[in-house]
Amino acid sequence: MKKPVLVINTGSSSIKFAVYEPDGGGFKLRHKGVVEEIGREPFYTLRDGEGKELSSCRLEDGTRTHDECFGWLEGRLGEILPEDGPSSVGHRVVHGGTGFTGPALIDGGVVERLSELEPLAPLRQPYNVSGIRAMMKAYPGAPNVACFDTSFHRTQPELAQMFGLPMEYYESGVVRYGFHGLSYEYVLSRLGEISPETAAGRVVTAHLGAGASMCATLGGKSVATTMGFTALDGLPMGTRSGGIDPGVIFYLQREKGMTADEVEGFLYKKSGLLGISGLSSDMRDLEASAAPGARLAVDYFAYRIVRETGSLAAALGGLDALVFTAGIGENSALVREKVCAGLSWLGIELDGEANSRNDLVVSAGKSRVRVYAIPTDEELVIAIETTNMISA
């Protein structure tokens, strides 16, 4: 039996992992787990490949930091991995800058380069790097591979990556990087299996979760996206503001007395759906609430998706398909209904019953634009890219 691939996705308050076993020409998910609430009271959950919970527990007192949680998790991974560890470890890395245009085999030099990018993604990149260091120490015989959220968008034309700043800044790396590339890569591959002709056409994909962005693709290649230099731009998100007039930042500093760090925390952690609703960052809570603020947050979220879809369709010169994915995109019939109603001018017609069931195809047969709800699987993409990299 071939050794499995371990996938690690380290966030600011969680460590997610997945174990994939080579199966013929593909992979079979064997285990999936998470340590969440890191920094508070970390909690561990392990599930099998079918989603059945196998075990769960609160971590012992004194285990709070990422390093401590990785040390604790190593023992649990030892229970589900071969005695000599995994064949390889694939890592989700949020930011690859302009230098990483595809997966990278990790060595000390790569780790240092990734650390240098931490100012561009301060809420995620440091934890991605800490996860890499932890796994290199835990499994010194297994190659580690970095898979980037930004790489998918490096096919965009120069105009789509620019800001209206002097070119010296563009040349030094102040560009629209775009994110969620691993999700877009997976969804486009699935769409290619479902309808190759559609996947090769003008497609807008909406990755809607706690973090949210959209991407326009032509021939399966990224043409434009909503996130920019950081993962703060574009759509409003669970706690992030999304696109905002830069002048608001000056106002918050000069008139409200906020420091740069306070503004950053405000826009990243206290805005978006949480800030508008005053209730929750979770779309499920907002849809279940009758509070005016909750309804306003849902409406604003859908409105911004409609606006961005129009912009991305313009970049494509038309639209053949709209794809919803990630937690909200896959499961919120209400959000899809509101968005598609706002895009009726594009010829989109929703099938109400299919939408309520979260079917794969949710558009009506007569809709000029096909609308899909496709579950994403970023971990599987990482497993594939990791294996391909070490086999090359």
Active site residues: 149
Looking at the chain, how many residues does it have? 392
Percentage helix, strand, coil for the chain under 3-state DSSP, each rounded to 5:
45, 20, 35
* Helices and strands (H and E) in the chain: how many: 16, 13
Mapping DSSP to helix (H, G, I), strand (E, B) and coil, where does residue 206 land? strand
Measure Cα distances from 195 to 103, 312, 314 in Å.
27, 21, 23
DSSP H helices, the chain, are 66-80, 108-116, 125-138, 158-161, 167-171, 181-194, 196-199, 246-254, 260-269, 272-277, 283-288, 292-316, 326-331, 333-342, 352-356, 378-391
- C-alpha closest to that of 132 among 156, 168, 162, 106: 106
Hey, what amino acid is at 235? L
Conformation bin of residue 125: beta by default, left when phi > 0, alpha when psi is -120 to 50: alpha
